[in-house]
């Protein structure tokens, strides 16, 4: 058999396999619609009274010891105890996305202030005050008013805070202050909010997506821009990187998922199918498939080898549908969070809906698996994040609570998120002024 014939046979075999997988997804999903399981999840930690503003992102550290959440600031918790270890307060706007580097040394954050920061965790933890919640603000940087509201003792360290025990004014230059080292790089080339960040597997590069319709690749050590990827016609709200670091995925308001070559910056493929803005992306640990979530209320599973769509799952209800998704480290389970206040678990092989987890009072803006897939964390508009134990992640097939969402209450309580995430659903905002007034009251704590 010639080489051409061999390649043709291989392509036919792959196509048959993909078709069979897609058929399995769809048929089993229809069967699943006829029955519901129930699961009762008891979180290990419910991080109440932490942020005073909507939580936009939650992520585990590579060693599973830390949990980071983003709001007006970034808060890092001990994943085992739920205690706050440090508060990183260096952005002048809502922090939209955070990501640990795989080596665990750095934390990257992107914000509405159009800036991405690269935090040195080593220097941040050195400045922590034992027995107190330490808030670190870089010298010369902005500071939010989002301080802890719990009963724990707190201390704030800023560029103007004297570091000597006597309380006298510090005379050393800020360049020699320990605080000058907590932020390794300040990345400022985006001219609109930075909505998404992701790091490469080698921890050397940071990928950012912005409302300015561009994707940028940064060298974490030098802060240089290695590439600017252009092609989106709307804001870029989510980015992801394959485990081998060879492909970058990005999407957002234009409903199209672009697959970029990391080395050349060339757009290798455009995945089309969503009927509304894409809000989240998650890549399988083996890099074979991609999960996307959209305001069109669906999760879609894509074959990253040839770009085929393997499945479309009707996931969440509400005006903005699916807001977040994640894939477990073993690739067996997909988790999603939505506008309907629910967290759902899906079998990654068959597309079966395994569990529906209730607990949040408002939309679920972010979900995350621990690196060993024994714990999961969720965050949302109820200004809190929740960390659940292995019963939820490792045994999702045991049961789920039924959907109990009032659409009327959902609309009344959550309409202000049109301003926080951008009104990309195509739904007309009938009373934008009233929504802004409600948002203002919410921020004041009324």
Q: What is the structure's pLDDT at 88?
A: 96
391 pLDDT higher than 60 = no
* Cα separation, 189 vs 96, whole angstroms: 17
Model confidence at 156, in pLDDT bands (50, 70, 90)? Answer: low
Percent of the chain with pLDDT over 70: 67
Q: What is the mean pLDDT of residues 356-377?
A: 92
Q: What is the structure's pLDDT at 396?
A: 39
Q: What is the structure's pLDDT at 119?
A: 98
| Total count of residues recorded for the chain | 446
Q: What is the structure's pLDDT at 266?
A: 97
Question: Do 378 and 343 form a contact (C-beta atoms < 8 A)?
Answer: yes
CATH number, domain 18-159+173-443: 2.130.10.10
102-151: per-residue pLDDT in tens? 999 999 999 999 999 999 999 999 999 888 889 999 988 787 654 444 44
283-319: per-residue pLDDT in tens? 999 999 999 999 999 999 999 999 999 999 999 999 9
Model confidence at 87, in pLDDT bands (50, 70, 90)? Answer: very high
191-222: per-residue pLDDT in tens? 999 999 999 999 999 999 999 999 999 999 99
Model's pTM, two decimal places?
A: 0.77
> Rg of the chain over CA atoms, in angstroms?
22
Model confidence at 179, in pLDDT bands (50, 70, 90)? Answer: confident
22-74: per-residue pLDDT in tens? 444 544 444 444 444 545 566 666 665 567 788 999 999 999 999 999 999 99
Query: Domains of the chain: which residue ranges?
Result: 18-159+173-443
Q: Which tokens is 189 given?
A: 């080339």
Q: What is the structure's pLDDT at 85?
A: 92
Q: What is the structure's pLDDT at 212?
A: 97
441 pLDDT higher than 70 = no
As a whole number, the mean pLDDT across the chain is: 78
Give a three-class secondary structure readout of the chain: CCHHHHHHHHHHHHHHHHHHHHHHHHHHHHHHCCCCCCECCCEEEEECCCCCCCCCEEEECCCCCEEEEECCCEEEEECCCCCEEEEECCCCCCEEEEEECCCCCEEEEEECCCCEEEEEHHHHHHCCCCCCEEEECCCCCCCCCCCCCCCCCEEEECCCCCCCCCCCCCCCCHHHCHHHHCEEEEECCCCCCEEEEEECCCCCEEEEEECCCEEEEEECCCCCEEEEEECCCCCEEEEEECCCCCEEEEEECCCCEEEEECCCCCEEEEECCCCCCEEEEEECCCCCEEEEEECCCEEEEEECCCCCEEEEEECCCCCCCEEEEEECCCCCEEEEEECCCCEEEEECCCCCEEEEECCCCCCEEEEEECCCCCCEEEEECCCCEEEECHHHHCCHHHCECCCCCCHHHHHHHHCCHHHHHCCCCCCCCCCHHHHHHHHHHHHCCC
Question: Do 136 and 124 form a contact (C-beta atoms < 8 A)?
Answer: yes
227 pLDDT higher than 90 = yes
403-434: per-residue pLDDT in tens? 233 333 333 333 334 534 444 333 333 333 33
385 pLDDT higher than 80 = no
Percent of the chain with pLDDT over 90: 59
Model confidence at 175, in pLDDT bands (50, 70, 90)? Answer: low
């Amino acid at each position: 058999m010639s080489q051409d014939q061999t390649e043709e046979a291989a392509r036919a075999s792959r196509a048959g396999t993909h078709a069979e997988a897609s058929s399995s997804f769809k048929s089993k999903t229809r069967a699943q619609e006829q029955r519901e399981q129930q699961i009762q999840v008891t979180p290990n930690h419910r991080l109440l009274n932490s942020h005073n503003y909507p939580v936009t992102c939650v992520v585990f550290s590579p060693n599973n010891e830390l949990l980071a959440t983003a709001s007006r600031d970034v808060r890092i918790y001990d994943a085992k105890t739920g205690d706050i270890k440090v508060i990183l307060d260096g952005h002048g706007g809502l922090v939209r996305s955070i990501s640990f580097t795989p080596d665990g040394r750095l934390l990257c954050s992107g914000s509405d202030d159009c800036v991405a920061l690269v935090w040195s965790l080593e220097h941040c933890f050195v400045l922590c005050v034992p027995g107190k919640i330490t808030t670190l603000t870089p010298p010369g940087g902005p500071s939010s008013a989002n301080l802890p509201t719990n009963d724990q003792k707190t201390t704030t360290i800023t560029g103007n805070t004297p570091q000597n025990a006597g309380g006298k004014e510090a005379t050393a230059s800020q360049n020699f202050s320990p605080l000058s080292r907590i932020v390794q790089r300040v990345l400022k080339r985006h001219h609109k909010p930075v909505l998404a960040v992701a790091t490469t597997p080698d921890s050397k590069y940071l990928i950012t997506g912005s409302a300015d319709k561009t994707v940028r690749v940064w060298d974490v050590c030098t802060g240089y821009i290695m590439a600017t990827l252009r092609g989106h016609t709307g804001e870029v709200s989510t980015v992801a990187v394959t485990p081998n670091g060879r492909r970058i995925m990005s999407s957002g308001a234009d409903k199209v998922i672009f697959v970029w070559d990391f080395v050349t910056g060339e757009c290798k493929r455009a995945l089309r199918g969503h009927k509304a803005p894409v809000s989240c992306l998650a890549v399988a640990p083996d890099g074979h498939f991609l999960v996307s979530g959209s305001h069109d209320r669906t999760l879609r599973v894509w074959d990253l080898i040839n770009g085929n769509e393997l499945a479309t799952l009707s996931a969440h209800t509400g005006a903005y549908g699916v807001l977040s998704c994640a894939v477990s480290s073993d690739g067996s389970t997909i988790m999603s969070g939505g506008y309907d206040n629910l967290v759902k678990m899906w079998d990654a092989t068959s597309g079966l809906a395994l569990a529906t987890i209730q607990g949040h009072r408002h939309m679920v803006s972010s979900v995350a698996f621990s690196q060993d897939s024994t714990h999961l964390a969720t965050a949302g508009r109820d200004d809190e994040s929740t960390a659940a134990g292995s019963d939820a992640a490792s045994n999702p097939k045991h049961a789920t609570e039924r959907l109990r969402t009032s659409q009327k209450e959902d609309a009344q309580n959550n309409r202000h998120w049109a301003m926080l995430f951008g009104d990309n659903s195509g739904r007309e905002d009938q009373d934008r002024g009233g929504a802004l007034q409600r948002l203002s009251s919410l921020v004041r704590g009324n």
